[in-house]
């Protein structure tokens, strides 16, 4: 056994944060991620029944599924400026309110147009939450825990997806096909009102981000929050570092285009886009419909989607345990390579029409690889690489690009997957090969351009870009 000297114990105590307090704050903030996952994935169970009810073609089906993503783009764009001016906490409150409105409105929609309207409102909340939740967690987390704690947001996202897959499965089994077409899908959407209400109530008990408070010259409040997180001695040191950083920041978008920061902006945007164009949300939004086309009946398709959600959640736990040990870059390389291989073989099995078991096996391999790396690590990187004063707006720019890419993929997948020429030539394998090719692009980009940020404070990362 290795014994520590008395001064070593003192140093450890001073660096040791109030883990329970930080954990509770992150848990509440991560509920925004839970709602993000719940509200995006609920469409997977409802879309087939909605298509039958409103007699939708492939393009309309894509619009019904992806319309929320239009709201996401707008929500992110607005949340960036709002979070920098009003605060991270108020932005999360507004996001929770929009989740609740969307859940009720979608459940009672009487036409495709009404459904799309309320899905867009929900998208505003999703977009805001997708940026503000990891941003808030990153700004309250000690450096040596930040990667793991931000990854909890991704765990909350996949937890929301898994829960709603179970909810969709239970509702689907509770009635006939005719009942599901007329009513069942409405219960799927309406169920989202409960977690939205819980999130709004819990937000009243969390403080504002200390880095935002320093930017607003509310020093006493910032120091109080930092003391609760890190202890009084470490809080004073961190407060001085944050204040020094804020004093040298202009707070304008123009700062992002200065030498060094242009690299950070390009890195954030490209990683955000690559997270989406490699196809993840095709499986999360259209899972049951994909399984049906590959030979499963209705109940089996919903059950297989639950398995997809369970694997997504299980491997997110692996990412949480390894992101601060192995580092961001190795995980990204391993995961993107695994995604590409799985997609290539999935496309090959579809092309050869050997699909039933193979489709599930390689889809799970793809989901596991994503959850291990690209899913959580992308959000960790986006929450780390921008300076404090403009972090909200800068992260918003990258996240707008992320949701725009998500919209393009979600809208075009049914159109490509049901294109007569592509189906005749490739038997549904073409789209999987396109996504596999983009995974290869992701591997090359991460290997060549992405730096390692493990263990660095947010202020150290900012100085690193300045040196570049």
Residue 130 domain flag? yes
How many angstroms separate the first and last alpha carbons of the chain?
43
Mean pLDDT of 351-361: 72
Residue 2 domain flag? no
Based on the structure, what is the number of domains in the chain?
Answer: 1
Residue 235 domain flag? no
165-201 per-residue burial string, b: 16 or more CB within 10 A, e: under 16: bebbbebbeeeeeeebbeebbbbbbbbbbebbeebbe
Cα–Cα dist 103/254, whole Å = 38
- Residue predicted with more confidence, 378 or 458: 378
Residue 460: its pLDDT value, please?
75
Residue 212 domain flag? no
Cα–Cα dist 229/140, whole Å = 8
pTM score of the predicted model? 0.77
Is pLDDT of 462 > 80? no
Answer whether 81's CB lies under 8 Å from 105's CB. Answer: no
- Using one digit for the tens of pLDDT, what is the confidence trace for 403-418? 889 899 988 888 887 7
Cβ-based burial of 54 (10 A; exposed 0-12, middle 13-18, buried ≥19): middle
100 Cβ contact list (under 8 Å, min separation 6): 193, 196, 197, 200
Answer whether 31's CB lies under 8 Å from 202's CB. Answer: yes
Residue 400: its pLDDT value, please?
84
Count of residues in the chain: 468
Residue 243 domain flag? no
∠ CA 33-34-35, nearest 5°, is 90
Is pLDDT of 16 > 60? no
Cβ-based burial of 379 (10 A; exposed 0-12, middle 13-18, buried ≥19): buried
Is pLDDT of 359 > 90? no
What's the longest Cα–Cα distance across the chain?
Answer: 74
Mean pLDDT of 240-255: 69
How much is the mean pLDDT over the chain? 83
Residue 355 domain flag? yes
Residue 370: its pLDDT value, please?
93
Mean pLDDT of 8-35: 72
**What's 154's domain CATH number?**
1.20.1250.20
- Using one digit for the tens of pLDDT, what is the confidence trace for 447-457? 988 888 777 77
Q: How far is CA 195 from CA 103, 163, 198, in A?
A: 10, 11, 5
- Residue predicted with more confidence, 444 or 235: 444
Is pLDDT of 250 > 70? no
pLDDT bin (cut points 50, 70, 90) of residue 14 is very low
- Using one digit for the tens of pLDDT, what is the confidence trace for 53-88? 999 998 899 899 889 989 988 888 887 778 878 888
- Residue predicted with more confidence, 187 or 297: 187
Residue 4 domain flag? no
pLDDT bin (cut points 50, 70, 90) of residue 178 is very high
Residue 423: its pLDDT value, please?
67
Is pLDDT of 3 > 50? no
* CA-based R_g, the chain, Å: 22
pLDDT bin (cut points 50, 70, 90) of residue 303 is confident
Residue 233 domain flag? no
pLDDT bin (cut points 50, 70, 90) of residue 10 is very low
Residue 252: its pLDDT value, please?
62
- Per the listing, tokens 């898994």 go with 162
Residue 224: its pLDDT value, please?
86
Residue 293: its pLDDT value, please?
75
Residue 275: its pLDDT value, please?
94
pLDDT bin (cut points 50, 70, 90) of residue 389 is low
- Per the listing, tokens 């470490």 go with 234
Any idea which of 82-86, 117-121, 254-258 has the lowest mean pLDDT? Answer: 254-258
Mean pLDDT of 300-304: 85
- Using one digit for the tens of pLDDT, what is the confidence trace for 319-346? 878 887 888 889 999 999 999 999 998 8
Structure tokens at 40: 């995006």
Is pLDDT of 421 > 90? no
Q: Domain limits at 86? A: 18-206+249-467
């Amino acid at each position: 056994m290795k014994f520590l000297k008395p001064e070593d114990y003192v140093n450890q105590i001073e660096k040791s944060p109030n883990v329970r307090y930080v954990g509770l704050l992150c848990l509440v903030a991560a509920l925004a991620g839970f709602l993000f996952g719940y509200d995006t994935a609920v469409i997977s169970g409802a879309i087939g029944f909605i298509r039958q009810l409103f007699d939708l073609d492939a393009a309309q089906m894509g619009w019904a599924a992806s319309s929320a993503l239009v709201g996401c783009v707008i929500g992110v764009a607005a949340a960036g400026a709002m979070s920098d001016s009003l605060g991270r906490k108020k932005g999360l409150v507004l996001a929770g309110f929009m989740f609740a409105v969307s859940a009720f409105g979608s459940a009672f929609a009487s036409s495709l147009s009404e459904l799309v309207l309320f899905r867009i409102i929900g998208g505003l909340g999703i977009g805001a939450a997708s940026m503000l939740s990891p941003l808030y967690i990153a700004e309250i987390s000690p450096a040596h825990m930040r990667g793991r704690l931000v990854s909890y947001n991704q765990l909350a996202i996949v937890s929301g997806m898994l829960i709603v897959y179970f909810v969709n499965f239970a509702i689907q089994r509770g009635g006939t096909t005719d009942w599901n077409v007329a009513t069942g899908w409405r219960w799927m959407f309406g169920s989202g009102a409960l977690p939205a209400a819980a999130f709004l109530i819990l937000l009243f008990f969390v403080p504002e981000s200390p880095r935002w408070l320093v930017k607003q010259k509310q020093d006493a409040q910032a120091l109080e929050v930092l003391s609760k997180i890190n202890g009084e001695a470490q809080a004073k040191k961190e407060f001085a570092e944050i204040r020094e950083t804020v004093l040298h920041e202009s707070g304008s978008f123009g700062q992002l285009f200065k030498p060094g920061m242009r690299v950070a902006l390009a890195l954030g945007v490209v990683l955000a886009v690559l997270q989406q164009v490699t196809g993840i949300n095709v499986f999360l939004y259209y899972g049951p419909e994909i399984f049906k086309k590959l030979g499963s009946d209705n109940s089996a398709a919903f059950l297989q989607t639950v398995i997809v959600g369970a694997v997504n959640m299980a491997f997110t736990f692996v990412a949480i345990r390894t992101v601060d040990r192995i580092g961001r870059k190795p995980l990204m390389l391993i995961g993107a390579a695994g995604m590409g291989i799985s997609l290539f073989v999935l496309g090959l099995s579809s092309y050869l029409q050997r699909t039933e078991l193979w489709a599930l096996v390689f889809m799970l391999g793809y989901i596991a690889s994503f959850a291990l790396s690209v899913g959580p690590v992308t959000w960790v990187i986006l929450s780390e690489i921008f300076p404090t004063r403009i972090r909200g707006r800068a992260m918003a720019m990258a996240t707008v690009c992320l949701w725009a890419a998500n919209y393009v993929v979600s809208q075009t997948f049914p159109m490509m997957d049901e294109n007569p020429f592509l189906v005749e030539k490739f038997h549904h394998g073409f789209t999987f090969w396109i996504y596999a090719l983009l995974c290869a692009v992701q591997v090359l980009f991460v290997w060549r351009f992405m730096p390692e940020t493990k263990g660095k404070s947010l202020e150290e990362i900012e100085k690193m870009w300045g040196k570049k």
